[in-house]
Structure 1
């Protein structure tokens, strides 16, 4: 099943040092000012360049230009251009998620982006939580090329509401567990159970900032506490798996 991967949201270069010192494996970059009720949008390439210069772990950058889960033809062209700029600045991958008018995964848009960015790893973010039928959405996603993670809270209202469903989804299919990256209200008590279900990727946002505020920079000690928690939970899950297999 593999080791744990810890992804931390950053808003700019000042967040990088704390994330790295705490043990983050990957950074997820949003536009500065995102969070705390604001819709997360794509950052400027200059911010991406600054973060990538400071980071020695992969940086994935959000592709999103409006406050919905849909996009237009003109926007899609701009998103491709932005992604190419981000990659040129040193980004290792991108993050996006789109639904169609029926609230199903917009596979056509996702495939278009994946095709225009060959070989570039990407994550599907929390658009899945707003899909009409999450089970159908997962069936679509597991076959998309280049996809390395799906960030989900199990509900648009966060893991406080969606945790039980999310755990059940992870337990239902090892392919889903391998892709699932819980995020959006993750708390410490969730981690051991998700790890036992096969989840190996975890996303952190406000949890690693003093007072849980995006106005504060990422704090290394906060990240480190989650690093230790996640590694311990995944280590225990791996030992249990090996024991049951042997």
Structure 2
């Protein structure tokens, strides 16, 4: 039997975090402004969530919509403030104008994070060459997961890519956790689990009322039940 699956839930505030933990989430992705696909939350929100729940929040480092790094000095300063507020895990990912990884920006932030674990997010799904990106990032300290749908269009389109990448686990550039998210549905889970994928990320799927409403503990619990094979 494959190991217990990791379930990561997007949280916008303390209420979301408490509901996600109650439903059986293992981890949070902490963001603000989902209209821009998730930006960096405030240090105050981070501190509040750290105080309210036991599960780890991965905090987004992204100041504007899109996949350009923007003001890297400001980002580095924000990362330092978030660490002071109690953030110990992060989410980031930047591309250059040609769709290659912006290694200068990523390495600058990784220096500030100083060994903290981090996820390279769905910027990989917009990359010109996924394989090249993975190999460029392979040895960066702290990188332990890729959040990906396999395609910019979502898991429906990206499933073949996800299955192919799962089969390469252990190769250089493919040793990180494959954290599947982006249009992920419960009916995708059996094929992903059968391929050995054991980390899943949900946002809208945890919110029956949409992004204007809170995370539902019951919706998270349903995902937990399916992932556990109950």
Q: Calculate the TM-score normalised by the size of structure 2.
A: 0.91
* Number of equivalenced pairs: 227
Match of 2:227?
Answer: 230
What is the match of residue 113 of structure 1? 109
Contact map agreement 1:30 1:41 (CA 8 A) in 2: yes
Question: Which range moved further: 76-85 or 15-24?
Answer: 76-85
Say whether the 8 Å CA contact 2:27–2:57 is kept in structure 1. yes
* TM-score between the two structures when normalised by the length of structure 1: 0.86
Q: Deviations over 1:13-44 (max 9, x none)?
A: 1112210111111111111x414xx3321112
2:138 maps to what in 1? 142
Gaps spanning 5+ residues in structure 1: where? 234-246
1:68 aligns with 2:66: yes
Which residue of the partner structure matches residue 241 of structure 1? none
How far is the alpha carbon of 1:178 from its aligned partner?
A: 4.5
Higher helix share: 1
Are residues 1:5 and 2:1 paired?
Answer: no
Q: Which residue of 2 aligns with 1:244?
A: none
CA distance in 1 between partners of 2:6 and 2:138 (Å)? 19
Compute the displacement of 1:210 (Å).
1.2
1:131 to 99, 113, 127: 127
Question: 1:31-72, CA deviations, whole angstroms, 9 ceiling, x for partnerless residues?
Answer: 1x414xx33211122222222221111111100012221124
Contact 1:178/1:198, CA 8 A, preserved across alignment = no
Task: Kindly indicate whether the alpha-carbon contact (under 8 Å) linking 2:146 and 2:176 is maintained by their aligned counterparts in 1.
Answer: no
- Tell me: CA distance 1:206–1:21, structure 2 relative to 1, closer, same or farther (3 Å): same
- In the other structure, the counterpart of 2:165 is 169
Counterpart of 1:51 in structure 2 is 49
Secondary structure of 1:232 counterpart: coil
For each residue in 1:96-149, what CA deviation from the matched residue of structure 2 results, as whole angstroms up to 9, or x when unmatched?
A: 001123211222221221122212111111000000011222222333220111
Whole-angstrom distance in 2 between the partners of 1:83 and 1:3: 31
Q: Report deviation, 1:80.
A: 1.5
Is the Cα–Cα contact under 8 Å of residues 182 and 202 in structure 1 kept in the other structure? yes
Q: Which ranges in structure 2 are unaligned for 5 or more consecutive residues?
A: none
Contact 2:10 2:202 in 1 (8 A): yes
Preserved contact between residue 178 and residue 200 of structure 1 (Cα < 8 Å): no
Kept after mapping to 2: 8 A contact 1:170/1:177? no
**Take 2:186 and 2:50, find their aligned partners in 1: how far apart are those partners?**
29
**RMSD of aligned Cα (Å):** 1.8
Q: Does 1:22 align with 2:18?
A: no
